[in-house]
Amino acid sequence: MKALVYHGPGEKSWEEVPDPVILKPTDAIVKIDTTTICGTDLHILKGDVPAVTPGRILGHEGVGTITEIGSAVTDLAVGDHVIISCVSACGKCDFCKRGVYSHCRADEGAPGIGWIFGHLIDGTQAEFVRVPFAETSLYRVPEGVADELAVLISDILPTGHEIGVRYGAVSPGDVVAVVGAGPVGLAAMATAGLYGPSRVIAIDTDANRVEQAKRFGATDGVVASDPDWKEQVFALTDGLGVDVAIEAVGIPATWDMSLDVVRPAGHIANVGVHGKPVEFHLEQKWIENITITTGLVNTNTSPMLIKLLAQGKLDVAGFLSHHFALSDIISAYDTFGRAAETKALKVILSA
C-alpha cells in the first residue's frame, strides 16, 4: 500500500510500504476512505515530538471501511463503515473504566497514553491502517453522515468539546471567551452552544479569523492586537470578566490573556499544546477561586457528538476548507502548512 511516512524533522514522503496485518485478536484492519491533517502532524514534522521515530506512518484521524477483523472482535464486521478515534481505548484498564481513555494503560505503543496512531504506532494517512482495540476505539458512521463531517469526530470536535467546553464547565448564561480561533478553538465555539452560554467571544490576533468565528457559534469577536482588547472583552461581560476562558493556542501570551479575562470563581480550560513554561502568580491568584483544567482528549463524548451530527445539530461544515485526493497528500500538507495564507482549517483527503 501507499502511506505518508515520516523520515525525521522536515522529511516526509508518500511511498510504498507493507500492508498492515492483524497482530492481536482485538485488532481490525481498516481501509481509509477519508483522512485529514492535524496541527499535531505539523509539530511532529518540525521534530517537536521525539517519540515519533523515522519510518512512522503519520495521521490519527480517519474514516474507513473494515476489511479484516481479529478473532476476538464480535461487534464489528468486515464492510462496516467506521470513524477511527484519535485515542485508542482498551476498555478494560482503570482509566478506560472511568472514561479517561487518554491515559489507557494497555500495552500498545506505550502504556499510559491513549494517543498512539501516527505517534507510537502507524497512523491513518495511508491506504490501510491496523486499529488496536477495534471494538472500543471505532464508531460506526451513521446513515446519511458524509465522511468529511464524520472525520471531525476523530479528534477536533471531541477535543474542543471535552477539554474546552466540558472541562471549562460552560453553563447556561455564561460568558465564554475562546482565546485562539484556529480549528480547535472553533470546535470549542461550535460545541459551547450545547450548554446555553449567553455569549461566546472569539479572541484572535487575526481579524479575519475573528470574523469567520461567527460562522462557528461565536456571538462576539475581539481582535487581540487592539490595544484595548481587554476592555473590549470586559465590556461584553457584567464588568467582572468572563465565566470561562478557553485557551486554544498554547503559548505563554495566550495563557496570560486567559488569566487576564477570567473572573473570580471562573474557569480556565487549557486546550493548547504548550511547548514552553507559563507563569502563574499563585501569590496573587490563590484568593480568586479559579479552576484550571488541562488535558488530552478522551473521546468519551464521541458517541454523543455522533448523534448530534447525524441529527444535523452541529453546524460544522465550515471546517471543510480544502479537498484533495489521498495520493495528493504532499500538496495537502503544503496547503495546510501555509494556513495563514491559504485559510486552511481542515483539509480533507479522499481515497
Q: Which residues bind Zn ion (CB under 5 A)?
A: 38, 40, 90, 93, 96, 104, 106, 155
Instruction: Write down the least CB distance from residue 300 to Zn ion, Å.
Output: 12
Q: Rounded distance, CA 135 to CA 28, Å?
A: 9
N- to C-terminal Cα separation, the chain: 12
- Residue 22 sits at φ, ψ, to 5 deg, of -65, 125
Neighbouring CB atoms inside 10 A of 84's CB total 29
| Pair 49, 119: CB distance under 8 Å | yes
Query: Is 287 buried (19+), middle (13-18) or exposed (0-12) by CB count in 10 A?
Result: exposed
* Closer residue to Zn ion in complex, CB, 148/155: 155
Q: Which is nearer to Zn ion, 259 or 347 (CB)?
A: 347
Nearer to Zn ion, 201 or 269 (CB): 269
How far apart are CB 347 and Zn ion at their closest, in Å?
13
Residue 163 Cβ vs Zn ion, minimum distance, rounded to whole Å: 12
Q: How far is the CB of 183 from Zn ion (least distance, A)?
A: 9
- CA separation for the pair 243, 172 (Å, rounded): 11
Instruction: Please enumerate in sequence order all residues whose Cβ is within 8 A of that of 141, keeping only pairs 6 or more positions apart, or say none.
Output: 63, 81, 82, 83, 147, 150
- Please tell me whether residue 44 adopts helix, strand or coil conformation: helix
CB of 114 to Zn ion, least distance (A): 7
Decide whether 123 or 266 has the Cβ nearer to Zn ion: 123
Nearer to Zn ion, 38 or 52 (CB): 38
10 Å Cβ neighbour count for 315? 12
Written as nine digits, the cell of 75 is 461487534
Residue with smaller CB distance to Zn ion, 147 or 155: 155
CB of 338 to Zn ion, least distance (A): 18
**What is the rounded CA–CA span in Å between residue 262 and residue 246?**
10
